[in-house]
Homo-oligomer: A and B are copies of this chain.
Amino acid sequence: MTLSPTDRSTIRRNRERGASDPAALHAILDEGLVCHLGFVRDGDPVVLPTAYGRDGDTLYLHGSTGARYLAGDELPCCVTVTHLDGVVHARAVMHFSMNYRSAVVHGVARKVTDPGERWRALEVIVEQLTPGAWNHARRPDRRELAATAVFALDLAEASVKIRNGPPSDDEADVLADAAWAGVVPVRTVYGTPELAPDLRGHHDVPAHVRSADHRIG
């Protein structure tokens, strides 16, 4: 299996940055907290940040049943997850770049109606935010489930793009020693948990919250 079976997921620019490995796709998705969901409304593109989760080769999205874009049974969409790893300073401004890992998934998300799959989808979406949260907090009740739309997107049509390493300058600029060049790493980190002001018990931060920071880096 490659990740780019169709024309629109074939990377044409900077081919050397493409990766066609399901493990690379899964790793990028699993590390993220927010995806950017693109869809078409009245002919125009819309891009919204939202939560997501993955179960095997399926990506799950959820939202309020009142959200217009989740009203149908199918949602043609593009889901993109990007991790920024560094700012690449080159000798020439036109060679400035970023080190990053991105996954772009194309497809038609289907509304999930099976109760068991909906339950599992909500579990993986919550677990994407913090593993262990699903077993710690109160599970969805009937009213909450009724207010929630769940969509499933197959990961079959996806592309991965990765850039890392130093700047790629023209030889002439390297020889001319035109400017400083290098990479400034960028990382996403967790801070110290802040307790809800109206906590009654549960003042100790649970282990699954304390250990969450191994996931993003």
Residues of A near any B CB (own CB < 8 A): 8, 12-13, 33-34, 36-49, 51, 64, 66-68, 76-80, 82, 84, 86-87, 89-94, 96, 98, 100, 102, 104, 106, 122, 126, 129-130, 133-134, 136-140, 144, 148, 166-167, 169, 173-175, 177-202, 204-206, 209, 212, 216
A33: chain B residues within 8 A (beta carbon): 84, 87, 98, 186
In the complex formed, the residue of B with least CB distance to A202 is B180
> In terms of DSSP, what is the predominant structure of the interface of chain A?
mixed
Let me know if B38 and A38 touch, CB within 8 A.
yes
In the complex formed, the residue of B with least CB distance to A80 is B47
A38: chain B residues within 8 A (beta carbon): 36, 38, 45-47, 78
With A34-B82, A82-B36 in contact, is A136–B47 under 8 Å at CB? no
Partner of A8, one of B41, B93, B122: B41
Partner of A129, one of B12, B40, B98, B201: B98
A188: chain B residues within 8 A (beta carbon): 84, 186-189
7 nearest A-B pairs in the assembled complex, by CB-CB distance? A185-B191, A38-B47, A38-B45, A36-B36, A181-B196, A49-B82, A47-B80
Let me know if B8 and A42 touch, CB within 8 A.
yes
A186: chain B residues within 8 A (beta carbon): 33, 188-191, 216
Partner of A137, one of B39, B179, B187: B179
Let me know if A45 and B40 touch, CB within 8 A.
yes
A185: chain B residues within 8 A (beta carbon): 190-194
A39: chain B residues within 8 A (beta carbon): 45
With A174-B200, A196-B167, A212-B184 in contact, is A126–B93 under 8 Å at CB? yes
Nearest CB of B to A163, in Å = 11
Q: Which among A78, A140, A192 has the greatest number of chain B C-beta atoms within 10 A?
A: A78
Q: Which among A39, A44, A93, A129 has the greatest number of chain B C-beta atoms within 10 A?
A: A93
